[in-house]
Structures are given as structure tokens and as C-alpha cells.
Structure 1
Amino acid sequence: MIHQPSAESGGCMAGRASFSASSIRSSAQFSDHGLPHPRWESATLSGMVSDAVTRVRLHVAPCTQIIPFWHIDTPAGTAAEIRLRAAPEAGAGFSPWVSLARWSSAEPGVSTTLPDQHVHGLRTDADTVTVETTELGGSARVIDLEVRAVPVAEVPVAEANPAAASGAETITVHWIDALTGPAAPPRSEITASAPGGRDIDHRLPAISQHACGTLEGYAQADSWCSPTALTMVMEWLTGTRAGADIAGTDVADRPANEDAPARVQPAILGVWDTEFAGAGNWAFNVAWANTCGFDARLDALASLREAEELLAAGEVLIASVTFTTEQLPEAGYPTNGHLLIISGVTAEGDVRVHDPGRAIADGVRTVYPREAFEKAWLSAEGSGGLVYRIRNR
């Protein structure tokens, strides 16, 4: 779930749902590099969808929170509507359907979540569905995901079996998946994982979200952490800056914040959630990265030790964290929800980050203490270890 940042927040999201899952069941492009078997399940729907309804059923480990995410391409004038229902076990009665989101890969200002829905057994908060276990009859074990092509102007449907939408053009569903899990433990129960003893330092271009200019109708810079982090990662992966051809140069060594508005604002427009009026929607961020030609997924890790394995294999991770100035004084600001990049570890085990929330670009590349960072990231007050994993396709 996503909320507006507080006035003093240096981040972009508040109090998010939490996941204690360890690792996504990955495609060939997303090797788990020896991580433990996931404590949750996922499934994939792929194929072509036109103006009809297409559905997939997921059988998952018992869960109380669900975040669908996807790679769907849409033409101008048509959006993909994502709907969901759940049941406590096979053969049991399902909840009513909820329409979670409308996604457009082609038009800024069209994508939107449909928050604050409450049907029997399910409650939505932007990108996250929470299972009301008393109403549903237990944790969810069966999830139906549905994709429907709709004209962008159509009002979201509520009926159980919507008719084919008139006027919708063909959309391409490359895949749709869901991150599921139980609630994460509180900060007080998080202890630092043992470091792996490796010194890993992936150097990305440095951009402060506060240097990204103004964009009328798209909030303020303090809510742009996620698209700023996305831009840094995608430029690092391609070796080019957004909108410029600088192949053959090291983007990490070019002047920090150079042309930051032109580089980051396309991402702000691409991930914008109209109803929420923010850029921190987890599903929209990975969907937009997929539209840009990358392979992007949501994942949830159990510790920094697991992150170290992915870092050693050449990945960087965009992580969702929450902290006060007392809990992480090295950051220099408090946040009730923020995205930053885990870009390495020191030999002693502390965390190298590229933090777009820092006020100046010279502070974007920095190091945070391991235990404080894990509490900010892995706890229920944080995000339960949620990350974006983005790789070249």
C-alpha cells in the first residue's frame, strides 16, 4: 500500500504492506543464485489479450498480503484492467472480485489504482491487497488474477463476470505474477544477519531526486525517489543516460545530477498513479521498467545476506525502507517510506547504497550500518524485505 509522504519525509512512500518471503520463483533470466527455496509461490499468465477477459489461477502458500505485478503493453486509448479474487483453499468459496488497477504503457496520466475497496474477505490499498482472514475463512491459498482490455475512459467494472469491453484494442500480456506473503516481524525482532565478508561496490550514476526540477501536476521531488532510483539502475544497465547516446563511457563517472530533470521525468510520467497522485506504486514501477525493455520483477528477501548473493552475481536492488532520524542518523532525514538502491556491501558488512533522498548528489553514494538498514528494510514497519529486481532482457 502507498500513502502520501509526511511533510518532513525525505522519501516517497509511507507504511507499506510487508512480506517475509525469501525469493521469487524465477524465470531463467532471474536466477536465485543459490538462495533458499521461496516460502511463497508465484505463477505466470502469458499470451495475447484483446477485448476479452483472460484469467489465471494461482495456488500459493497461505498469505495475508498480495501484490500483483506484470509486463503488459497497451496501445494508446486502451488500458489493461487488473482484477483479483481469493479463496482460503481449493473448493472453498471465493471472495468477490476487486479491480486493483488500470495500467497503460502508452499514455502518461492514465494508469491508476483503485484503492480503498473492501469486499468480503479482501481490502485494497493502492498496489496491495490485504486478506481479511476472519471474513475469508483463513489466509488466502488460491488467487484468481484477471486481465481485461478496456478503453481508458471506461469506468472500472464491479460485476463478477464483466462483458467484453467495447472499443478496446489488442493489448499484449507478456506475463502477470503476484508477490504474496504473511506479515513481517516488528523492528524489535530483527537482528543483523552475518556478513559474507565480501567487498562489493557497484557504481551507478548519482542522481538526487531533489535535483529533478518541477513537473506540474505530478507532486514534488520528495515523492520521486522510486523513478529516480529506477533511472539510476536503468542507466547503469545500459551504459547510457536516458535520452542520450553515451555508449562507451562510464555513466558512474559523469557529473552527478547532470540533466537530472530530463533523465528522471520520463520515469515519473511512466510510473505515475493518478488516483494515488504519487510515483511510488511498486507494481507500476516494475511494469514501466518492463515496458522500457528491461526484465523487472518484485521480490522479497529475508536478509542482507541474501542480497549479497545477488550483488555478487552482478545485480543491484531497489529496496523499500522506513526509518526515523534516530534509527538511521547517517541518512540525514526521516522517512515513512522510501526507495533506494542497494549497490554493494563493505568487507565489514555495512551496506553501500545509492540514496536518491540525499539532498545533494555528492551524498547519493553512501554507506549505512548493516543492522540499522536491515531493521529499516526487513521489518513490518519497513517493507518486509521488498525489492525491485531489474536486469537487461
Structure 2
Amino acid sequence: MTRPAARRTMLAAALVAATVAAAPRAFAATGGDRRPCEPGPSGGRPGRHPYGDQDEAPVDHHAWTRWSDWHSGDGSGTCVEPGPRPGIAIGRPSGVLEYADPHTGITETWETATWTSPVHTPRSPATEIVASWNARTPADTWIQVELRAAYTDGSTTPWYVMGRWASGDADIRRTSVDGQTDAKSSVSTDTLAIDDPASGLRLAWYRLRLTLLRRPGSRASPTVWRVGGLASDIPDRFTVPASEPGVARGIELPVPRYSQEIHKGQYPEYDNGGEAWCSPTSSQMVIEYWGRGPDDDELAWVDPSYEDPQVDHAARFTYDYQYEGCGNWPFNTAYTATYRNLVATVTRLHGLHDVERLIRAGIPVMTSQSFLATELDGAGYGTSGHLMCVIGFTPEGDVIVNDPASPDDEAVRRVYRREQFETNWLRTKRYAADGQVRSGTGGVCYLSWPLWPSPAQSRVLHRLGVL
């Protein structure tokens, strides 16, 4: 299915093509298809990170999560909730907002409070920034997340809306916002990107702003426990050097297996049904790996004849009403973090060595990739964007995944060749079936972990810069 060009189409991840001849769709996550380039040298040597030493990698992940973090920002009407998971909440509302929900046609007035982060300067100027958050929004509440960045030429972006979000769908329809641009950068669903990376213009620093909203007269409040940004400048590449098998050879995590395909035709109002649900299906696998999930009351709305109703539930509550899909990256990690004491974020990794460290520590990794059917042996399909869950490695170092684009739950476990998987995931440029150049994700993934990770988990998360 072809989406409007304004949307970052790779987020529709699960619309996998059955053959190589499937119609390709353009991407905007890494600069879109504005400037086709010729394949160049991949750089590096086999067995090393494709981006070189991690400390020099063009990826910067930063989040505000601690008591001191929340007190370091500028609040208006907010307070800091104490406890093992401190967060920002409404103290005394400082303003009102009239919001016309474009997806319900309803206009309502909401009380507001705001919190603005300090300036964060990434280790290297960036071409892209993705914001993500973990929050709780009781009935009668929701949040808006905005981002403002400074360019390396000294000018600044407007405040871009990166998401209007609620964990439910009774108060507002969670949504991204199309059409945001200042002729230097644009927001495509969930990613702020420089329009012309070849110009040399970059994003030098950024701030995030949270607006917490509730109905007048309500005493309820959203709580935001974590908000952060992934800033990166991944070089264009069609290939990456193959990495040697590492520390996770022979390890396989017991992640539940769910097929998106058995949900085909179910609830078509959520991105045309299960055939397009790879992202929420992958998210649900990992939520249940951590021992969480919706209870029977929460699943009562699902047709009782449907298998794995929790997948239908995940699709509904990750759905982006503007994008018209379930593949909005931060909406998936925000959904994951609505479950008890789970933390989740969108990030980029440098290669399979990073994934191996996470697997060895017991943390599965949801990766986003695109490929032709001829580029991933054993998949049996091609896709312009797809989420799957890495759960381990064979003794030879090949990648074991739970691939939701499978005919049934039993068939979800797959083994893919290491060098093919790594290239498909890490490259930023690829050739589509029609020979046109399209973009890839450059190592994007979802990570989730317990609020109190084990020492081994803490070490690897710190090393990767997300904890």
C-alpha cells in the first residue's frame, strides 16, 4: 500500500511484499530519496564496528529520568513526583489550551503545565533527532512532546510537535503532526531531519518541551518518567563490513512467538489489520518476555474468537491516527513502558556486536530493516520496512529472530545469515525492486528493560549510552 509522501513510509513496517516485484515505498528517516547516491566504499575492516570506535560513533542518546534531571529543567505548573521512578506531573496548572482534535472533530479546553529540558549538545552535530518518552496518562489526561534545535549556522528551528500522545484513546486520538518544516528541516512522523544533509548544515543542540494536559475540574495528572532524544548523523552506505561472531554465540532468549499474519483482516481500522502489525507484534513479544501484558479486562474488547488477542490490543494502542499506522517508533516504546516497571526507548546501535552484548545480558532487541526477497535468505518476502525481534545467535554467529511476518506462531522463529541481516539493518541506502535508490534505517531499534535491571544489564545499557 502506498502512503502519502509526507509520511515516513518505512514505519508501515509490516506491509511486507510477497515478491521482489512488490511496489517500493520511499523513506524519509535518513534523508528520504531526495538525493540518490552511488555506492561507495563501506570503510572499516571485518570484525570491527562499522562506525569505528563506539566513543567516536555519530550516535548520541540522552534522556532525562532522574530527580535531579527534572529539577534541572524549567517548569511552569509542574511538580516532580518522588519515588523509585521520579517524574514530572501537573502541580498547579499554569495555562489553558483549546485543542481541536483532527481525528474526532471535537474541540475541548484543557488545563496545561509545561516542563522544558535544559539544552543538550550531542557529541557530534546531527542530521536527525528522534524523541521518545515513557509516561502514564490516566483518564482525562494526555501529553504533547515538542523539540526545538539549533542549527550549526546559528539559527534555530521552531518548536516541532513530535507527538500528541495518550496511553488510551478515549480522550484524544494519539497522533503525529504532518507538514512541519522551516525549509531547513522537517518532521516526518516521528523524526526531525535536515532537509539537505549534503549542504553540511547540522543540528548542533536541542531541547525538549513537555506539555501535560487535563480536563478542567479533574484532579488527575499525566506523569512522564523519561523523555529523551536520539541524535545521529549516519553516513550514507549501501553496505557495511561484516562483523565476526562475538560474545552471544549459542545464546537464545525465551521470547514468546507471535505472528502478525494470523491477524490479517482483524480490526482494519488499525492500519488495515494484522498484515501491517509487525511493530506492535514485536513489541508485544518483548513485553511478555519481561513478564508483563494486558489482563483479561483490558482484552475484553477483542473478539473472543481471535487468537493472541494481546496483539490486537497492542495494535490499537500503538496506532498513530495521522500516520494511519502502528509503526510510529516512539509510540511503540511508549506503549511498552505503560506496563509495570518497564523502561523503553528508540535508539541506534553500531552493529551486531552491540546486539550480542545485549543478548548475553538477557535483553532482546527489536530491529527495523528493509530488503528485497533476494537479500535475506529464508525470509521468503521483501519489504520496504519491517520490525522483527532478535532473540539470540547460533553457535556459528548467525542471527536468531522472532519474525512476525510468518504464517503462524510456530513458524515465527527464524535463523538469518549474519552478514545479510547486518547489512539490511545498518545500511542507509539500498536499491528497491525497480532499481531506484531508497533509504534504510541505519541501525534503528527498540530497547526495553526492567526499571531495576541486573548488574550485567546495567553495564551493557550504560556502555550503549541509554541508561
The normalised TM-score by structure 2 is: 0.68
Q: What amino acid is aligned across from residue 187 of structure 2 in structure 1?
A: T
Q: 2:13–2:387: 8 Å Cα contact kept in structure 1?
A: no
* 1:217 counterpart (262, 269, 281): 269
- How many Å separate the matches in 1 of 2:231 and 2:120? 11
- CA-to-aligned-CA distance 1:227-279 (integer Å, 9 cap, x gap): 111111111221x665369xxxxxxxxxxxx9634121111111110101110
Please give the secondary structure, in 1, of the residue aligned with 2:121: strand
Identify unmatched segments of 5+ residues in structure 1: 20-34, 153-164, 246-257
Classify the secondary structure of the residue corresponding to 1:267: helix
User: CA shift at 1:392, angstroms?
Assistant: 2.3
| Residue 325 of structure 2 corresponds to residue 272 of structure 1 | no
Q: Percent identity?
A: 29
- Is 1:313 matched with 2:361? yes
Is 2:62 the counterpart of 1:42? yes
Hey, what's the Cα distance between the residues in 1 that align with 2:222 and 2:338?
13
Structure 2 residue aligned with 1:200: 251
Cα separation, partners in 2 of 1:327 and 1:292, compared to 1, 3 Å: same
Please give the per-residue CA displacement for 1:142-193, whole angstroms capped at 9, x wherever unaligned. 10211112469xxxxxxxxxxxx99896321212100110134322x31211
Alignment of 1:1-393 (within 5 A): 2-3=8-9, 4=12, 9=17, 15=27, 17-18=29-30, 36-37=54-55, 39-44=59-64, 46=70, 47-50=87-90, 51-56=112-117, 57-60=119-122, 61-88=124-151, 92-107=154-169, 110-132=173-195, 138-150=201-213, 170-187=221-238, 189-196=239-246, 198-212=249-263, 214-218=266-270, 219-238=272-291, 242-243=294-295, 260-293=307-340, 294-380=342-428, 381-393=439-451
**Counterpart-to-counterpart distance in 2, 1:280 and 1:315:** 21
1:194-239 per-residue CA deviation (whole Å, 9 max, x = no partner) reads 111621111322211011350141122121001111111111221x
Distance 1:137 1:386, change over 3 A: closer
1:17 maps to amino acid:
A
SS in structure 2 opposite 1:62? coil
The AA in structure 2 aligned to 1:192 is A
Q: How many residues align?
A: 350
Alignment CA distance shift 1:184-1:363 (3 Å): farther
8 Å Cα contact 1:78-1:168 kept in structure 2: no
- Please give the root-mean-square deviation of Cα atoms over the aligned residues, in Å: 3.1
What secondary structure, in the 3-state scheme, does the structure 2 residue paired with 1:271 have?
Answer: coil
Structure with larger Rg: 2
Kindly tell me: are residues 137 and 355 of structure 1, through their superposed partners in 2, closer, same or farther at Cα, counting changes over 3 Å? closer
- State the distance in 1 between where 2:293 and 2:169 align: 22
Decide whether aligned partners of structure 1 residues 16 and 259 sit closer, same or farther in structure 2, where only a CA change above 3 A counts. farther
CA distance change for structure 1 residues 376 and 175 in 2, over 3 Å: closer, same or farther? same
- Residues 116, 126 of structure 1: 8 Å contact kept: no
Q: Distance in 2 between matches of 1:288 and 1:8?
A: 23
In structure 2, distance between residues paired with 1:40 and 1:372: 26
Closer/same/farther in 2, CA of residues 184 and 367 from structure 1, 3 Å limit: farther
* 3-state secondary structure, aligned to 1:72: strand
